[in-house]
Structure 1
Amino acid sequence: MAHIAFMSLPEAGHLNPLLPIARELVERGHRITFPADDSMVERIRPTGAETISYEPRPTETIVIDGMDAAARATLALLQQLEHVLPQIETRYADDRPDLIVNDWLAWAGPMLAAKWHLPRIQSWSAHAASEGYDFGTFIVGMFAASPVKAEFDTLLDAVLSRHGIPPLQLHDFYKPAEFNLVYQPKSFHVHNETFDNDRYAFVGPTRMPAAQDWTPPRRPMVLVSLGTIISRRDFFHACIQAFTDEPYHVVMSVGRSINPTDLGPLPANIEAHQHIPQPAVLAHADAFVTHTGMNSTMEALAAAVPMVAIPHTPEEQTTAERVAALGLGTVLTPADATAERLREAVRGLLDEPTTRQRLRAMQNDLRTAGGALHAADTIEARLPR
C-alpha cells in the first residue's frame, strides 16, 4: 500500500474536508501521514492517520477586512511556512511519501513535491482555479500596490533558496495542480464550463451531516454565523435588534473571540453560543445568515437552507455571488447588514418557495457528487504504479 502525505492549514475550513478522505484511505490499507501542530492532532487522530508534529510560529490573528489585511495575511502565511518547513522536511528525510495531497494554502505541498519530484493533488477548500477562473490573478493584483510586496518576494526567494526548491512565484500557488479535488458539485462552481474532467474531481462535501440530538425550541428557525475566524460584536448586536420579537427562533454562533454574555440580556427567541454543531442545527434551519465560507455554504446546501450571504473576504464574495446567481439566497455587504436590511432579507427568504425548489435540486447534486469515497478513488487512481 502507498504512503500518502496530507498537508493542510490548521483552520477548520481547510482541514475538515481532508479528514474523511484520510480516514477512508486508512481503512483501505494506505499509510497516511499528516504534518500537524498541537491544535490539529486531536482532530486528525480519529482518522487513523499518523501525525508529524511541528511547532508553529506564534502569530496574531489578522481580520481580513480589506486588501491591505489580505496582503498581510498572505505574508503571515509565508512567514509561518518559513518556520515550519524545516521541521516538516526533516521528519520526511528518510520517509518520503509516494504522493502529496495538499490544501491550496498549504504551500509546503507544492514546494516539497517540486523538490522531491513527487506527484501532487491539490485540495480546493475554496473555488478551484482553471483557465477560465484564476484567483491568483486577483492575488497578484492585490500585492502590486501593497507595502508588504517587497518583503514577501524577498522572503519567498530566501525560503526557496534555503531548501533547494525550484523557482516558484506567488501566482504559482494559486494555479491548478496536475490533479485537483474540489469540494463542490460542478453545478455550483463559478465558471464551471472551463473545468475539464481529466484534471478535476468535483467530489462535493466530504463530511455530510451526522445525526445529532438537537431540536430547536420552535420553528421557523434562523441560524446566524460568521464562521470561526471573523468576530464582529456590532454585527451580532444588529442581529439581536433585527430579530427580537420576530415570529421565529434565532440561534447565533458568535465564534471563539466573543463571550455570549458580552452581548447582554437576550430576548426569549434568541440564543447565542461560541460554538454549535452546525450541520445538526442546519438540519432544522429555515434560513442561514452566513459569511459564505465554503464549508458553511456546502453544509447549507446539503440541508437545502436558503442563505443571507454577508461575505468578508474575496473568496467569500465569489461564493456569495454564486449563491445569488443560482437563486439560492441573497447577498448583503457587511456595511449594508443593518438591523432593518437583515430583517427584510430573512423575511424574504422565509416567504420564497421557488428558492426552496432550486435548493432541493442543488442538494441532489451534492448527494450524488460522491464525497470522500469519490475523492479516495481518484487519489488511488493517481498513485505511482
Structure 2
Amino acid sequence: MHLLFLSRPDRGHLYPTLRLAEELGGRGHQVTFASGDPYVDEAAGPGVRVLRFGRDERGLLDMAVFRAQGPVDAVVADPRTAKAAPAFGDLPVVVAGTNLARGHEWPGERAFDPYVFTVPGTRGAVHDPWRPGGRRPVLLVDGPPIGPLVRAFGDTEWQVVVGDSTRYAGLPHADVFLTDGRLAAVSAALRAAVPMVLAPGTAEEAGYARDVVALGAGRIAAPAELPAEDLRRVVEQLRVDEPTDATARRLAGLVEAAGAPATAADRIEDLLTAAPVARAA
C-alpha cells in the first residue's frame, strides 16, 4: 500500500508517528511522511519519503514530487491533521497518536475511530530537554493553579517545574506529576512511570482521574482547597509510596508494549485490510 502520514509535531517538537511510518516502510509499504514543521528529519528509514507541506496539509496536492509518487491508498493522520485527510480523496483514514487507546485497563482516546496508539520516539526534537538541578525531588505541574504550590513548596527542597515549555519533557526526571487529569497528561505520565496527583477541572478529567486511581497509579486532590501542609503531605507521601511506584512501573511496561511500532503497525495493517474501513470521526 501507499500510505500517506500527515503529521504535525507535538509540543516537544517530536514526530510521534515517525517510528510507526518507518516500521510500515520496513514491511514493504510505500510511505510518504509529510509534516509542516521545518525541523522534520530529512532522512527516514527504508520505504519512507519525507516531505514538508508548509502551513496547510493540502499544499501537498500542488507538489509535483508528491503527485509523482502515485495514488495514495490510505491516510494515517495524527489528531491535529485528521480534518485535512478528506482533501486527499475518499480514502480509508486511521488516526494515530500518543494518547492511550481504549480497550485496555487505562483511560483511552474517544474522539477518533478508528484510532491507534503509538509510543513517541525522540525524533525531531529541537528543544533542549529540561534537566533537574542537583538531586532535589522534582514535582512537575501541568494545569493546577500556581498559588497553592508556592505556599506549599516555596520553602522546601522540592523543585517545582510549572508550565514546562515542552509540556511533558520533564516527566523522565519527575518524582511526582501534579496534573488536571487531561488524557494527554495521563498518557504521558503512564508512559514515564510517574505517580500522579490529579486535580481535575472538568467532568471528563474527573473520569480519567478516577481511572488512574483505580489503576493504583495516583491520588485525587484539590490543591486550591487544601492547606499548604496537606498538599505537601499528599505529594511527599506519593513520592515514597512503594506500591504506587511499583504499579506505575508495571503499567509503563504494558503501555510501551501496547504502543510499540510493531504493535501499532500490526493494528494499522489489520484495519486497512478489513473491509470497509470507516473514515476517522
Answer whether TM exceeds 0.5 for this pair.
yes
- 2:77 is the alignment partner of 1:102: yes
Number of the residue aligned with 2:95: 122
Q: How much does 1:27 deviate?
A: 4.3
What runs of 5+ residues in structure 2 fail to find an aligned partner? 123-128, 275-281
SS at match of 1:121: strand
Distance in 1 (alpha carbons) for counterparts of 2:133 and 2:187: 21
Conserved? CA contact 1:33–1:52, under 8 Å: no
Number of the residue aligned with 2:59: 87
Distance in 1 (alpha carbons) for counterparts of 2:258 and 2:61: 35
Number of the residue aligned with 2:277: none
Distance in 1 (alpha carbons) for counterparts of 2:83 and 2:223: 33
Query: C-alpha deviations, 1:304-345, integer Å up to 9, x for none?
Result: 321112345666454333212323112345754774553233
Number of the residue aligned with 2:170: 278
Distance in 2 (alpha carbons) for counterparts of 1:121 and 1:107: 8
Query: C-alpha deviations, 1:180-222, integer Å up to 9, x for none?
Result: xx3x781213599xxxxxx776x563438xxx99676225x22
Number of the residue aligned with 1:21: 20
Distance in 1 (alpha carbons) for counterparts of 2:10 and 2:153: 30
Residue identity in the other structure for 2:73: D
Q: 2:231 aligns with which of 342, 363, 375?
A: 342
- 2:254 is the alignment partner of 1:365: yes
**Cα–Cα, structure 1 residues 333 and 7, in superposed 2: closer, same or farther, change >3 Å?**
farther
Q: How much does 1:10 deviate?
A: 4.2
**Cα–Cα, structure 1 residues 119 and 325, in superposed 2: closer, same or farther, change >3 Å?**
same
Query: C-alpha deviations, 1:353-382, integer Å up to 9, x for none?
Result: 332343233233224325122112333455
Which TM-score applies when normalising by structure 2? 0.70
Q: 1:188 aligns with which of 106, 111, 126?
A: 106
Conserved? CA contact 2:257–2:263, under 8 Å: no
Number of the residue aligned with 2:53: 53
What runs of 5+ residues in structure 1 fail to find an aligned partner? 56-83, 128-181, 193-198, 257-273
Number of the residue aligned with 2:135: 218
Distance in 1 (alpha carbons) for counterparts of 2:202 and 2:20: 27
Q: CA RMSD in A?
A: 4.1
SS at match of 1:187: coil
- 2:122 is the alignment partner of 1:205: no
Q: How much does 1:238 deviate?
A: 3.6
Higher helix share: 1
Q: 1:329 aligns with which of 202, 212, 218?
A: 218
Total equivalences in the alignment: 259
Q: How much does 1:100 deviate?
A: 0.5
Which TM-score applies when normalising by structure 1? 0.54
Q: How much does 1:275 deviate?
A: 7.3
- 2:39 is the alignment partner of 1:42: yes
SS at match of 2:4: strand
Conserved? CA contact 1:307–1:329, under 8 Å: yes
Question: Relative contact order: is structure 1 or structure 2 higher (C-alpha 8 Å, sep ≥ 6)?
Answer: 2
**Cα–Cα, structure 1 residues 98 and 302, in superposed 2: closer, same or farther, change >3 Å?**
same
Residue identity in the other structure for 2:134: P
Distance in 2 (alpha carbons) for counterparts of 1:312 and 1:107: 27
Residue identity in the other structure for 2:155: D
**Cα–Cα, structure 1 residues 93 and 336, in superposed 2: closer, same or farther, change >3 Å?**
farther
Equivalence map 1:271-310=2 (5 Å): 277-281=169-173, 285-310=174-199
Q: How much does 1:43 deviate?
A: 3.8
Distance in 2 (alpha carbons) for counterparts of 1:46 and 1:343: 47
